[in-house]
Amino acid sequence: MANNDSRVTIHMAASLDGFIARNDGRVDWLETSDEFIAGESLDASHVEAFLKTIDCYVMGSRTYETALNFEARGLGWSYGEKPTFVLTSRNLPRTRDTVEFYSGDLSQFVNERLRYAFGSIWVVGGGTVCGEFLRLGLADEVRYSILPVLIGDGIPFFEKLGRDVALHLAEVNAYKSGIVELRYELQGNRSESPNSTDKVDQAEPNTAV
């Protein structure tokens, strides 16, 4: 049974024109050099304290591979020691005990397992996975970090929605890096899912950070 105190957050960093990666999966444009003098500062202690409030992460297979690639390049594992659930039916390397693979009914997995065990659940990509969470009514909020860059074409933030999703703008923050973060709350009851028996596209063809 779902824990009504749990919260599912979709978080993504994207370009101003709504892309989370180039068509070939590259995210080289994430390193921007903009400066917004009036923006807020994000020091390491603030970021560390905030990350401690997240209980687990959920992602698709390509996002997981991107994270492994970052780690192989010496950039570290982005998700710390938090439980990380990868939605896939592919045979992928499991490099740490905190990673678990899942293939099956997404609504059942979220409502009967994740919400029961965790308070703060973060969905971090890619576009197909984020779109499926919204389409099935499984998310409570969307955090959209907009980077000061236009890349023209690429993999979109959301895919396969198939319906309107009403949002409420709850918070706006602008940072000295030029990044603007928007936090939206989902309107309506999260149990109102159009089809609770659908499965996420396990071989999720997108990548994200």
> Does residue 184 contact residue 170 with C-beta atoms inside 8 Å?
yes
The alpha carbon of 165 is separated from its chain's Cα centroid by a whole number of angstroms, namely: 17
**200 pLDDT tier (thresholds 50, 70, 90):** low
Residue 185 has which token pair? 């709350």
Radius of gyration of the chain (CA): 16
- CA 125, 53, 82, 2: dihedral to nearest 10 degrees? -70
Query: What angle (nearest 5°) sits at the alpha carbon of residue 179, between those of residues 60 and 72?
Result: 45
pLDDT of 199 reads 53
**170 pLDDT tier (thresholds 50, 70, 90):** very high
What domains sit in the chain, N to C, each tagged with a CATH number? Answer: 7-21+46-186 (3.40.430.10)
Question: pTM, whole model, 2 decimals?
Answer: 0.85
Alpha carbons 201 and 184: distance in angstroms, whole number: 25
Alpha carbons 45 and 68: distance in angstroms, whole number: 25
Query: What would the mean pLDDT of 135-147 be, rounded to a whole number?
Result: 95
Lowest model confidence (mean pLDDT) among 1-10, 96-105, 111-120:
1-10
Choice between 115 and 202, residue whose per-residue pLDDT is larger: 115
Tell me if the bond preceding 125 is cis, omega within 30° of 0: no
